[in-house]
Amino acid sequence: MPRLLVLNPNTTAAMTRAIGAAARAVAAPGTEIVARNPETGPASIEGPYDQALCLQPLLAEIARGERDGCAATVIACFDDPGVAAARCLVSGPVIGIAEASLRAAATIAARFGIVTTVQPAVPGIEELVVRHGAARVCAGVRAADVKVLALERPSAATYRRIRDCAERLLREDAADAIILGCAGMSALRLRLARDLGVPVIDGVGAAVKWAESLLALGLATSKRGSYAAPTHGRTK
Ligand code: 5HY
């Protein structure tokens, strides 16, 4: 059975443990989840600078993961940093949790909303929505004004901010489902779905199931064209 690398691009080990738990909660029996984070880089990713800062350590970890026998990689950060570059670097499928969430949401809802952490993260997520052809079905992207690291042990106030933000997407933007716009929110999915009464999508889970499906279909990244292996600047 396959070994999946689930990579948290920030350096916060507690968050990596929570992401690993969310991945194992949905993985098929026999799928081995390898949850890792780079030793260097930003402690949390909350905008364009952090996204750039995490890239080189992220790519080095993905190359290491494939050397360690991981058949596919999940990039567990809702900004999907480095997905295209990683698809050049390794041959196994590479899936970003934002892309996986968007595809799942567009399948189960006519309109969906995305709740993320802080305002600086919003424009990048809006770009991802457009890039993946989901602008027509995305009711909106809203920030709950909670720091990424506040999700390690979310307080009642933090939970309320996320729930209230989701309710605004349902009430004011006419969303029919909610996407959790941060890997650190995975553990809140069931409670939010119960409180909101609509489907709530966690990208870590969606990406793990998608990776398993691609591997079960015998599919890997095409090495013809854009995702061809790099001929220079390989990470050591
Ligand atoms: C994430 N940051 O999923 C993103 C969410 C965000 O460290 N993990 C992070 O706010 O951009």
Pocket lined around ligand 1, Cβ cut-off 6 Å? 10, 44-46, 77-79, 116-118, 121, 148, 182-184
Ligand 1 atom with minimal separation from the 12 CA: 7
What is the Å distance from ligand 1's center to 47 Cα?
8
E strands within the chain? 3-7, 32-36, 72-75, 94-96, 112-116, 138-143, 177-180, 200-202
Ligand 1 atom with minimal separation from the 181 CA: 5
First to last CA, the chain: 28
What is the Å distance from ligand 1's center to 218 Cα?
31
Q: What is the pLDDT along the chain (236 residues), one digit of tens a residue?
A: 899 999 999 999 999 999 999 999 999 999 999 999 999 999 999 999 999 999 999 999 999 999 999 999 999 999 999 999 999 999 999 999 999 999 999 999 999 999 999 999 999 999 999 999 999 999 999 999 999 999 999 999 999 999 999 999 999 999 999 999 999 999 999 999 999 999 999 999 999 999 999 999 999 999 999 999 998 755 44
What is the Å distance from ligand 1's center to 50 Cα?
9
